[in-house]
Chains A and B, each alone.
Chain A
């Protein structure tokens, strides 16, 4: 381990014009700038997707509400789902991965910097295409504007007979284009992690974040490809009279479901594995201990990667598969719970016996573990096929996957924001505001999504723009919507905190958390090309070795 922190002289930002600086960002191939662009882009879409969610919840606050028409509601729920998965969760995680992976493995950039930029702009273009549907989706037909077929776009609702105009085409194109971007990014991650690690960093000494992003990238390749193929087939159906999914001409609606969910389920792990990575980096630093059971964590991640490719049809328990198929997918889905449980135990093992510093990043990670535990357990319930015949497609499922995506992914992301914000901006965030953000959002999250399980168990299906009074759903739906406003308040505090800290925050220094991975060895923010001289490492915690020469990790690993 030989890297001192060396701050390279930075071009004085203020002397250059705004167009010059903008131009620099547009043409950049630097992994950190691209990472930040991914993150900013995703935050903009997070706000848009959040507004759509708010419209959905206001409509459902009381039965027979007339806040929006059914047509608008269906567009909102389709756009909310598509936006949050393809244009918020994926880009924001790619952004963090882009920013952190080269820094953490001691590389100067990604393996293919220009492919990296190309992938980002493809994804950005995909998002614009999706939202252009509000203007261009109507086409010449006088049909609806934005897509309204649901984010899984089940056939044959997407066929021309049921989806006139161009709204579905915009959806298809947006997902197709951003899918190519994702595939490019996945290739880049794999090449970077396999071949750009600094001297001494064997696969066994790689930070868990790099390992988990490697598995994530592998899953992207396996999962996005069938989705892309299905989108191409759907376009052929719609424009040249192919009959893959056209049931009226002998096509199969079930085939689309298989194509979609062989993407859709691994996609959950594409999103959650990078969040496991954040938690696996933050929990050790704030517990002052190395990660518990590193090799088992790696093994569990790889196991999740493999098993997650065999579980897709648990989304299809109600389509009338044979009892053998239902039993198989019950089993494979429950098996995923084992490596996932191992991770939770290892995080608790990391905290056990440590000195836990309850700062904002750690608070979000602890909440992540708690909420992910519940999400996992409701997942086991849904894995039991007969239980799923009751709960599937009900609000219970909506509660379950928002527990994963908000309670898991978004909480881990907020933790990651606070943890790496000093590195990315060079400034410290405001801890008081961060804690206010945590508690407001925590209360809002639990008010909304804990209660959402209940109407599901009382027979309320998802994707309904209104519901009948007197079925025991009214009271819960009212409280669920109230929770949304707490979440909005939390996000506003978050945005205010980041904005204020960027402008006025105190200087963070290179290593504000007394952490152990290589990104903290360089300046904050890191210079172009990251390291003046490429570091050499001897253990999983190179900065620990540097700080504790009397007790280095490499003696024990």
Chain B
């Protein structure tokens, strides 16, 4: 892989790197555009290889001309000191290197316009899953209006079988500043802009976890506004939806922790369905433990990380909007135990 990348010193090499990554068969955590797993990403991938190839050819031709003229016409040590013939220009040549690039531009434009239309103006089938994505400083909120599910940071979508497509159509909104939704293997990025409604769609063909992150500078913790998309089989997705629709589990063994949660500032920002907590500024915690990560992907969702995150969010994400709760050890342990019951 690295050998291929080193060849990427030149544009032609970049192409080689792309093809190499594209040919990799096993899933890897590298969020590369050269291993598309969804129709829009695949059309972009095909277009990009075409543009790379044309650019590579232009590069080789012009680079050769440049090197040839520098080497061939460099001043020799036995030069007689006379001036070379004074040539002022050539109209046929000028015409040639205006018209030929013009034709290349035309071809590139037509190829590009076709892909723009295919992706942006794609019809929405009846079977599509609708998700509203709301960008926050510095996390993602996902709402499934048709399914009554609300979750955060980890988007679950069904795999889309080309024979029976179940694409996911995303409506992109922002609660504060600009953000951008980008999973390179599934589609290019689209911004989430406050006071504006954007759309994009994906139809992943393969199950698995796809990584991405916010791609529009949105403030202090832009870097740790990470994004994970879980592509589930249709059965797994339905099971997940059923689980997420349930209200929070009520477990009397953790009532001490629940009391801490419900009597501190937690409920100002977080919601847990079936309780008094209905805050909207932070992620919904109803099924917190169904998620693999916390802090928008900045840390794994383990007992220790959860405890540290509540105690001192700056340990993972300095500048995140979650305040340190200043709980004593006893309350903190009780609270973590309560959160761990939110399956």
Contact = CB atoms under 8 A, between A and B. Distances in A.
Nearest to A381: B51
A357 B59 CA distance: 25
A454 B32 CA distance: 10
A459 B31 contact: yes
Nearest to A456: B33
Given A157-B177, A377-B55, A461 B120 contact: no
Interface residues of B, number: 101
Given A381-B51, A389-B44, A327 B176 contact: no
Interface stretch (B4-12, B230-238, B273-281): B4-12
Contacts of B105: 331, 334-335, 337-338
Interface string A459-473: 101111111101110
Contacts of A318: 180, 188-191, 215-216
Interface string B11-25: 100100110010000
Contacts of B109: 327, 330-331, 334
B164 interface: no
B318 A468 contact: no
B90 A386 contact: no
B97 A380 contact: no
A292 B73 CA distance: 15
Interface in A439-475: 446, 450-451, 453-454, 457-459, 461-468, 470-472, 475
Given A323-B120, A390-B189, A461-B215, A296 B194 contact: no
Contact of B87 (A292, A327, A467): A292
A370 B62 CA distance: 9
Interface string A343-373: 0111011011111111000000010011001
A450 B224 CA distance: 26
Given A253-B178, A457-B18, A459-B33, A348 B184 contact: no
Interface stretch (A30-38, A204-212, A282-290, A530-538): A282-290
Contact of B69 (A288, A348, A377, A553): A348
A345 B85 CA distance: 19
A381 to B, nearest CB: 5
Contacts of B101: 337-338, 341-342
Contacts of B294: none
B147 interface: no
Nearest to A338: B101
A507 interface: no
A33 B232 CA distance: 69
B123 interface: no
A390 B211 contact: no
Interface residues of A, number: 101
Interface stretch (A12-20, A96-104, A244-252, A413-421): A244-252
Contacts of A351: 69-70, 73
B128 interface: no
Contact of B184 (A150, A251, A292, A390): A390
B12 to A, nearest CB: 10
B70 A366 contact: yes
Contacts of B111: 384
A374 to B, nearest CB: 6
Given A289-B87, A354-B73, A377-B11, A254 B196 contact: yes
A366 B66 contact: yes
Contacts of A451: 5, 8-9
Contacts of B190: 318, 320, 389
Q: Chain B CB within 10 Å — which of A71, A461, A475 has the most?
A: A461
Interface string B150-188: 000000000000000000000010001110101010011
B66 A370 contact: yes
A254 B198 CA distance: 12
B94 A384 contact: no
Interface string B50-92: 0110110011001101100110011100010001111111100
Nearest to B185: A459
A458 B191 contact: no
A334 B108 contact: yes
Contact of A459 (B30, B74, B79): B30
Contacts of A254: 193, 196
B132 interface: no
Interface string A253-270: 110000000000000000
Nearest to B317: A70
26 contacts: A70-B223, A154-B217, A157-B177, A157-B219, A162-B176, A247-B193, A287-B84, A318-B180, A319-B196, A320-B198, A349-B93, A352-B73, A353-B84, A356-B73, A357-B75, A380-B51, A386-B188, A390-B41, A458-B32, A459-B32, A459-B33, A463-B223, A465-B222, A465-B223, A472-B1, A553-B86
Given A318-B191, A338-B101, 16 more contacts: A148-B220, A157-B178, A320-B190, A327-B112, A345-B97, A348-B62, A349-B89, A352-B69, A354-B73, A355-B75, A355-B83, A381-B51, A384-B48, A384-B108, A458-B31, A476-B5
Interface of B: 1-2, 5, 8-11, 14, 17-18, 21, 28-34, 41, 43-44, 47-48, 51-52, 54-55, 58-59, 62-63, 65-66, 69-70, 73-75, 79, 83-90, 93-94, 97-98, 101-102, 105, 108-109, 111-113, 115-117, 119-121, 137, 172, 176-178, 180, 182, 184, 187-191, 193-196, 198-199, 211-224, 226, 318-319
Interface of A: 69-71, 74, 148, 150, 154, 156-157, 161-162, 247-248, 250-254, 287-290, 292-296, 318-320, 322-323, 326-327, 330-331, 334-335, 337-338, 341-342, 344-346, 348-349, 351-358, 366, 369-370, 373-374, 377-378, 380-381, 384-394, 446, 450-451, 453-454, 457-459, 461-468, 470-472, 475-476, 548, 551, 553, 556-557
